[in-house]
């Protein structure tokens, strides 16, 4: 009886862990922004929604363009003294909760630099939430 009870408790715990909020729009937006700020193209690509019916070579094209944008973003952050902190809004969902928007506010270390608000659009997929460009 003890073994059965322990097994049920273990399964319940695993179920709760599996259903935890590790793939919320806010968490995916945070992973995306962290990857952008770290100039991590693989991390950025892992968060993106690329449709199954995408034209062949579209992912490579996106990777190339995003690599250039990451370099520009990194240069801007350095010119503003680096990133002080990043905060995220709560997700705003569409009516059927298949799309969401999160706003990331990036504050730089130089007091003279303005905060940057980044509006991040997400889409719910079979693999969880992904960034929709």
What is the greatest pairwise CA distance in the chain?
A: 67
Q: What is the pLDDT of residues 21-72, one digit of tens each?
A: 469 999 999 999 999 999 999 999 999 998 888 788 888 899 999 999 999 9
**What is the predicted pLDDT for the residue at 90?**
97
Say if residues 45 and 63 touch (Cβ distance below 8 Å).
yes
Taking the whole predicted model, whether its pTM rises above 0.85 is answered as: no
- Domain around 36: 22-131
Q: Is the pLDDT of residue 5 over 50?
A: no
Pairwise CA distance, residues 16 & 24, whole Å: 15
Residue 108 lies in a domain: yes
Q: Residues 6 or more apart from 97 whose CB is under 8 A from it?
A: 124
Q: Which helix (H) or strand (E) holds 124?
A: strand 116-125
Q: What does the mean pLDDT of the chain come to?
A: 86
What is the signed CA dihedral for 18, 20, 23, 27, rounded to 10 degrees?
-150
3-state secondary structure of 132: coil
Residue 94 lies in a domain: yes
**What is the predicted pLDDT for the residue at 6?**
44
Pairwise CA distance, residues 106 & 87, whole Å: 7
Task: Give the total number of structural domains in the chain.
Answer: 1
* CATH number of the domain within which 119 lies: 3.10.450.50
């Amino acid at each position: 009886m003890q073994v059965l009870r322990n097994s049920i408790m273990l399964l319940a715990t695993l179920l709760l862990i599996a259903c935890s909020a590790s793939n919320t729009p806010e968490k995916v937006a945070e992973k995306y922004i962290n990857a952008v700020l770290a100039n991590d193209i693989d991390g950025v690509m892992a968060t993106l929604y690329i449709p199954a019916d995408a034209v062949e070579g579209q992912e490579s094209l996106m990777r190339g363009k995003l690599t250039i944008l990451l370099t520009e973003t990194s240069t801007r952050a350095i010119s503003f003294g680096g990133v002080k902190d990043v905060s995220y809004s709560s997700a705003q969902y569409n009516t059927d909760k298949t799309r969401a928007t999160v706003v990331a506010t990036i504050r730089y270390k130089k007091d003279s630099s303005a905060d940057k608000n980044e509006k991040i659009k997400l889409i719910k997929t079979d693999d969880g939430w992904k960034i929709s460009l």
